[in-house]
């Protein structure tokens, strides 16, 4: 698989199919090697969306970042991954995760023992018997992993990790736990804005929307040494600066390189814009940021 070093991550519920295909096609034309997307509750189904985007592009790697375990049994997940991998060899990465307590509870489920659940889920996937055609090459399965035990599981029962909302320090620790030979592909939010006040204002539209209240992310950042005071209000400037790269093109490229130097194989950049696009509308503002960054990230 030619994953490359810099890809794109986009969240939300997913735009119209035509806008989604257009976005993926332009990401590919700009030289980014991969397109990752989240799976929001009530949004587009991850594996169906991945297939559509793979069909709309010719070489772009598509990754789910992540597909939740809730709502799909392990046999079905294993079959979906195999089906996509056979149709688009070397171009699909299956990112799986246990999600977050509020999102699981919204499904009417109970969030309990996430590590054990993931262990059992992966074991059941491994034991699935297939009668369908085998892919020309295996599809990498990576986990939404933050803390040591899930990172270790990403090494022993999966092909690597896809951490989200993490500073460079996390990448250093994650690489040490994963060891060599396992894929490490962190997400990195970016704001293309030189003015510190305006940049942090835009960054906080992202960090304050969910992430600084989500227990999994908060506990992970505390593991890295951040204090309760850093989470009060809209978050300290130091914390915002650690999880969101902002500045001009060279500054953002510099932060990406820090993650790569810390042990990341691939960094997925998520443009954060001043006025977020409608979940069903145009992605033009995102594309404008990606166009501006494409030349500097191509050389990393």
* Per-residue pLDDT reduced to its tens digit, 88-139: 999 999 999 987 666 666 676 677 788 999 999 999 999 999 999 999 999 9
**Residue 88 main-chain phi, psi, to 5 deg:** -130, 75
Task: Tell me if 270 is assigned to some domain.
Answer: yes
**Residue pLDDT, tens place only, 28-47:** 999 999 999 999 888 899 99
**What pLDDT, in 10s, does the model give residues 190-239?**
999 999 999 999 999 999 878 998 899 999 999 999 999 999 888 999 99
Assess if residue 230 is contained within a domain.
Answer: no
> Among 193, 172, 161, 182, which Cα is nearest to 65's?
161
Domains held by the chain: number:
1
Q: Return the CATH number at 262.
A: 3.20.20.30
Domain-located, residue 149: yes
- Is residue 187, in this structure, part of any structural domain at all? yes
Q: Is residue 38 part of a domain?
A: yes
Is 208 a member of any domain? no
Parent domain of 253: 6-192+246-297
3-state secondary structure of 122: helix
Residue 121 lies in a domain: yes
Give residues with Cβ within 8 angstroms of 193, minimum separation 6: 199, 202, 246, 247
Q: Any bridge partners for residue 8, and if so which?
A: 35, 269
Whether residue 253 is contained in a domain is answered as yes
């Amino acid at each position: 698989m030619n994953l490359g070093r810099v890809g794109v991550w986009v969240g939300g519920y997913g735009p119209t199919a035509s806008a989604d295909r257009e976005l993926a096609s332009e990401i590919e034309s700009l030289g980014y090697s991969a397109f990752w997307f989240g799976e929001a509750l009530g949004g587009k189904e991850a594996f169906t969306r991945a297939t559509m985007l793979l069909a709309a592009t010719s070489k772009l790697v598509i990754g789910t970042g992540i597909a939740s375990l809730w709502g799909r049994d392990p046999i079905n997940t294993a079959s979906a991954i195999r089906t996509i991998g056979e149709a688009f060899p070397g171009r699909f990465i299956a990112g799986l995760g246990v999600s977050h307590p509020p999102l699981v509870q919204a499904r009417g489920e109970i969030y309990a023992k996430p590590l054990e659940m993931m262990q059992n889920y992966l074991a059941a996937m491994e034991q699935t018997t297939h009668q369908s055609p085998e892919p020309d090459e295996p599809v990498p399965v990576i986990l939404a992993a933050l803390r040591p035990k899930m990172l270790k599981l990403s090494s022993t029962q999966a092909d690597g990790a896809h951490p989200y909302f993490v500073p460079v320090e996390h990448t250093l620790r994650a690489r040490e736990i994963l060891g060599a030979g396992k894929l490490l592909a962190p997400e990195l939010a970016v704001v293309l804005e030189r003015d510190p006040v305006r940049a942090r204002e835009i960054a906080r539209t992202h960090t304050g929307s969910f992430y600084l209240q989500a227990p999994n992310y908060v506990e992970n950042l505390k593991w890295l040494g951040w204090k309760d005071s850093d989470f009060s209000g809209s978050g300290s400037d130091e914390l915002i600066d650690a999880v969101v790269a902002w500045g001009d093109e060279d500054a953002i490229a510099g932060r990406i390189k820090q993650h790569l130097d810390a042990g990341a194989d691939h960094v997925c950049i998520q443009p954060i814009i001043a006025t977020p696009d409608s979940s069903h509308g145009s992605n033009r503002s995102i594309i404008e940021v990606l166009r501006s960054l494409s030349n500097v990230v191509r050389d990393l």
